[in-house]
Amino acid sequence: MVVNALLTTFLCTVALPILLFLLAVKLWEIYTLRCRDPTCPFPLPPGSMGLPFIGETLQLLLQRKTFLRMKREKYGYIYRTHLFGNRTVRVTGADNVKQILLGEHRLVSAQWPASVRAILGTETLSNVHGAQHKTKKKVSYFDLSAEGALATGRGLRQVCVQTLNKCILSTKTGKLELGHFEMKRLMFRIAMRVLLGFEPEQVQTDEHELVEAFEEMIKNLFSLPIDVPFSGLYRGLKARNFIHSKIEENIKKKVQESDQEWKPRDALQQLIDSSNKNKEPISMQAIKQSATELLFGGHETTASTATSLVMFLGLNPKVVDKLRQELQDEVKLVHRDCFYGPSRVCLRLLFKMIETENLSKCLS
């Protein structure tokens, strides 16, 4: 009787849960494999789909490089898995990746993870293809060109001068400023002016809240696509909605002032003008998503590049002297007047230097 009781207890508490777990894993494997394209005759790559619903996401987050190395050693350069709520085929190796890149929209279609698409939106440049992609790219191109940047030169100069004065004051008081952190803040202030069309007063009052919301959104871009309270996607969407509310205020303001002859040239105004030019109704959601994507696409990379530029200029004083001398010779102004004076010729000269590759000659 005792042996039977122990055996029954063992089966109910240990064996049965294990069997049910293995059965759930097997059913999950069958379910995910049945979702394959029925029109494709080729077999799926080797691999495993992990645990039900979460797949192998936890293993990737905990093991990171070890997980990828173990998978490659076991299955080779191409294998299937289940990550971040999506069935995934990981492709490595130069020849394999080359075929994927050259076969975009023919062999494969590229898209961001579900959490990124949910936060940034479906009307963004990175989530559309074909003719719609070309149209959106053309609209955004002017704002990132020399002509668009020159049109906003005064605003750029004001933001840069304010930041430089702040850094100089901090240095005199003995406070240490981290270069990359300050560059990120500077690039965000510039983006608020150039991309979102914020006035200087708005930049000062809304900067802190917008920076916090933007960093929260970026931090939760790549998360599980589960929109429940306190989840990464929930926090990212909440931060995104706050940014959208500020952008919407600017859109309404610009639409009301559309009858003015002179309008500031910024990305937001360009998106609105594009809708009016095509005689299309202004899609508030599409414009907000496009403006948010421009923030996302240009913030981190631009801040990193600017930080590297400042660092290498600091390490090479001869290059700084050469650049300063060239500015003085070209503009016939002293260095201080070039950056603090009312003339916009400094920005024009910088674009001229870039176009004629004078910067490359200076750094060679």
Structural domain boundaries of the chain?
25-32+41-110, 125-315, 317-364
For the chain, the farthest-separated pair of C-alpha atoms sits apart, in whole angstroms, at: 105
Predicted local confidence at residue 337, as pLDDT: 47
Task: Show the tokens assigned to 214.
Answer: 């933007």
Q: Dihedral angle at the C-alpha atoms of 301, 306, 312, 318, nearest 10 degrees?
A: 150
Predicted local confidence at residue 359, as pLDDT: 39
- The DSSP symbol for 125 reads G
Report the chain (364 residues): mean pLDDT per 10 consecutive residues. Answer: 66 75 82 79 86 87 89 92 86 89 79 85 76 70 53 66 71 64 81 76 78 89 86 92 88 72 65 70 78 79 84 85 76 49 49 43 40
Predicted local confidence at residue 238, as pLDDT: 93
- The DSSP symbol for 90 reads E
Rg of the chain's alpha carbons, rounded to an integer? 27
Return the residue matching tokens 């479906």: 122
Residue 27's CB is within 10 A of a number of other CB atoms, namely 11
- What is residue 134's three-state secondary structure? helix
Question: Regarding the domain delimited by 125-315, which CATH topology (the fold level of the hierarchy) does it fall under?
Answer: Cytochrome p450 (1.10.630)
